[in-house]
């Protein structure tokens, strides 16, 4: 019942915005293409209605609506239209405020026969152009950005690193979110890119699924190809526990069973899932400690399942220690404070919000206002944090600016 109510509220808000923006749309149509105004007015309303009908039809008749490409593209285009029109709405509101102020000024001047002030074509047109650009960018971000994997290369200089681990190569991926994938071919290409790096070890830092382990079943064979001479190591992210789903599901699977299935899948693939534990990599008689904790966040809305003290105990005597922890807020909240001998922490979680500016010289994303460390490499007092931009996507099925990432690290002596 709550879902139906939420959907009805969304429809009311959506069409209220639509009606308001339609006033500016009519102005532009009347100004630029008056001969086809009636047809274009019909198209304006027909597009969202058809998309909504496709979404509802898929939800009612498709056995697996979340995996339907009709659902994916209909909901994505509708979401893009909504965001674009919301941006246009801001310009329409600005235009109305200007009109109200000007009209008020005329009334104060006591001019006889005050006439309504027409809309500003400049403001309305600027809003339309910006909205159209944003909509086009979002569609491009789905079609091209979602699986446009980018290889990032970083060197980590660790104190007292044994000679055996000079040049040791680690590949990190994070935030797969397999329930959101819409292109198996794209995923296969990304996995091959990882293997082409010829890593000595592979780190996966959580969020294999969105909520349900069943989301991963179609991709288990693909990810099962990941292997490295010194192992694949993984941890759980906040989405892996099933905390965002109502259990049991329609097949009677409980939350506990769902998590156990996820653990079993990783075991089947030969991954070393570290749940508040550690492993020691040995090479030529030298040691490198790898710690992994369950999800631990410095933010109240995310769980604190991790127990770093337990993981640390297994490698306390190893000189160099690398920590896998999904949420980057863990680094400043606990690692820097209480564990100065952990050389580097590898995390993900933020996705760079899948939207922003990501260049060599400048990085910006709205997520930076929630996380001080949100993308790329950070260093403080000789300890490193790397925040991976994520391999998959969640919510918006694409990426604009912040592309999916495969990170290659080479270890060196500081």
* pLDDT at 75 (0 to 100): 86
* pLDDT at 149 (0 to 100): 98
216 near 264, Cβ under 8 Å? no
Lowest mean pLDDT segment, chosen from 47-56, 57-66, 146-155, 185-194: 57-66
pLDDT grade, residue 112 (50/70/90)?
Answer: low
Given a cut of 90, is residue 41 above it in pLDDT?
yes
Domain boundaries, the chain: 2-145, 150-413
- Reported CATH class of domain 150-413: alpha beta
Mean pLDDT, rounded, of the chain? 92
When pLDDT is averaged across residues 314-320 and rounded to a whole number, the result is 96
pLDDT grade, residue 105 (50/70/90)?
Answer: low
For residue 9, count CB atoms less than 10 angstroms from its CB and return exposed for 0-12, middle for 13-18, buried for 19 or more: exposed
* pLDDT at 282 (0 to 100): 97
User: Strand pairing of 344-347 and 321-324?
Assistant: parallel
Tokens, residue 271: 């991954």
* pLDDT at 76 (0 to 100): 86
pLDDT grade, residue 69 (50/70/90)?
Answer: confident
Residue percentage of the chain with pLDDT more than 90:
76
Distances in Å between the Cα of 147 and the Cα atoms of 62, 360, 367 are 26, 21, 21
* pLDDT at 194 (0 to 100): 98
Instruction: List, for residues 219-265, the tens digit of each pLDDT value.
Output: 999 999 999 999 999 999 999 999 999 999 988 999 999 999 999 99
Given a cut of 90, is residue 65 above it in pLDDT?
no
Residue percentage of the chain with pLDDT more than 70:
95
* pLDDT at 106 (0 to 100): 61
DSSP state of 222: H
Residue 301, phi-psi category: left (phi > 0), alpha (psi -120 to 50), beta (remainder): alpha
* pLDDT at 250 (0 to 100): 85
When pLDDT is averaged across residues 85-106 and rounded to a whole number, the result is 85
* pLDDT at 100 (0 to 100): 84
The neighbour count for residue 193, using CB atoms within 10 Å, is: 14
The neighbour count for residue 298, using CB atoms within 10 Å, is: 16
Within 8 A by CB and 6+ apart from 165, the residues are: 283, 286, 288, 320, 411
249 near 266, Cβ under 8 Å? no
Instruction: List, for residues 114-157, the tens digit of each pLDDT value.
Output: 455 567 888 888 999 999 999 999 999 999 999 999 999 999 99
* pLDDT at 111 (0 to 100): 54
DSSP letters for 108-150: HTT-SSPPPPPPPHHHHHHHHHHHHHHHHHHHHIIIIITT--E
When pLDDT is averaged across residues 287-295 and rounded to a whole number, the result is 98
pLDDT grade, residue 159 (50/70/90)?
Answer: very high
Instruction: List, for residues 379-403, the tens digit of each pLDDT value.
Output: 999 999 999 999 999 989 999 999 9
Alpha carbon distance, N-terminus to C-terminus of the chain: 59
The neighbour count for residue 305, using CB atoms within 10 Å, is: 17
Instruction: List, for residues 201-218, the tens digit of each pLDDT value.
Output: 999 999 999 999 999 999
* pLDDT at 70 (0 to 100): 86
């Amino acid at each position: 019942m709550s879902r139906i109510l939420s959907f009805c509220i969304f429809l009311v808000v959506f069409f209220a915005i639509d009606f308001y923006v339609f006033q500016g749309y009519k102005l532009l149509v009347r100004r630029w293409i008056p001969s086809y105004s009636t047809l274009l007015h019909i198209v304006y309303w027909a597009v969202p209605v058809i998309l909504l009908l496709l979404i509802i039809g898929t939800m009612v008749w498709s056995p697996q609506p979340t995996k339907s490409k009709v659902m994916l593209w209909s909901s994505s285009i509708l979401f893009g239209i909504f965001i674009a029109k919301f941006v246009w709405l801001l310009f329409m509101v600005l235009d109305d405020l200007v009109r109200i102020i000007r009209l008020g000024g005329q009334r104060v001047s006591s001019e006889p026969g005050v006439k309504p002030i027409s809309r500003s074509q400049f403001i309305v047109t600027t809003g339309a152009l910006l909205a159209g650009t944003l909509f086009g960018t979002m569609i491009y971000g789905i079609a091209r950005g979602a699986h446009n994997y980018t290889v990032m290369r970083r060197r980590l200089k660790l104190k007292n690193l044994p000679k055996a681990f000079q040049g040791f190569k680690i590949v990190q991926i994070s935030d797969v979110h397999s329930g959101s994938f819409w292109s198996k071919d794209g995923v296969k290409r990304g996995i091959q890119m990882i293997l082409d790096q010829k890593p000595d070890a592979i780190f996966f830092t959580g969020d294999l699924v969105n909520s349900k382990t069943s989301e991963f079943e179609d991709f288990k064979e693909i990810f099962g190809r990941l292997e490295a001479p010194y192992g694949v190591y993984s941890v759980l992210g906040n989405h892996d526990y099933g905390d965002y789903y109502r259990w049991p599901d329609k097949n009677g699977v409980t939350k506990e069973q769902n998590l156990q299935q996820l653990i079993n899948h990783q075991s089947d693939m030969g991954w070393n899932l570290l749940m508040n534990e550690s492993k020691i990599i040995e090479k030529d008689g030298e040691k490198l400690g790898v710690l992994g904790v369950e999800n631990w966040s410095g933010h109240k809305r995310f769980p604190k399942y991790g127990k770093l003290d337990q993981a640390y105990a297994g490698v306390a005597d190893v000189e160099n220690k690398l920590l896998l922890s999904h949420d980057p807020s863990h680094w400043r909240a606990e690692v820097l404070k209480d564990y100065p001998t952990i050389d580097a922490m590898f995390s993900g979680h933020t996705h760079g919000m899948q939207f922003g500016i990501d260049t060599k010289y400048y990085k910006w994303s709205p997520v930076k206002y929630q996380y001080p460390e949100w993308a790329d490499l950070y260093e403080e007092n000789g300890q490193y944090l790397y925040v991976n931009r994520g391999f998959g996507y969640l919510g918006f099925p694409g990426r604009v600016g912040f592309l999916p990432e495969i990170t290659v690290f080479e270890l060196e002596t500081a």
